[in-house]
Copies of this chain bind each other. A is one copy, B any other.
Amino acid sequence: MILEAAVLPVIPARVAEFEAAFAEAQTLIAGMPGYRGHELQRCLETPGRYLLLVRWDSVADHEEGFRRSPAYQEWKRLLHHFYQPFPLVEHFTLACGGFAANA
């Protein structure tokens, strides 16, 4: 399993609208092959700053399976206009630890 992580800089005036759009958009990733789970985390120190964590079986499940799917076009339509600037998306593999408690 790999972790997709991105810090999302959302226009502060639009955070409520963004969270409502994300609540709709999250059903798009949850249905994809290789999807293992996700969290949208809101920064306590900086308004408009979010951390998106998505767990996939492989990088290909994210970059090929999801990003080349019709679901990704809908994901973009729902979410990408809230970001300024557009976020850097990276992938990670577990080095140590690994217990991730549910909220």
Contacts and interface: CB of A to CB of B under 8 A. Distances in A.
Nearest to A5: B51
Contact of A91 (B22, B23, B44, B59): B44
A13 interface: no
> Chain A's interface: helix, strand, loop or mixed, by majority?
strand
Interface residues of A, number: 39
Contact of A103 (B5, B91, B98, B102): B98
Given A100-B37, A100-B53, A95 B59 contact: no
B45 A97 contact: no
B43 A100 contact: no
B51 A3 contact: yes
- Kindly list the 9 A-B residue pairs having the minimum CB-CB distance in the complex, ordered from nearest: A41-B92, A37-B99, A100-B100, A40-B96, A98-B103, A37-B101, A42-B95, A36-B101, A94-B103
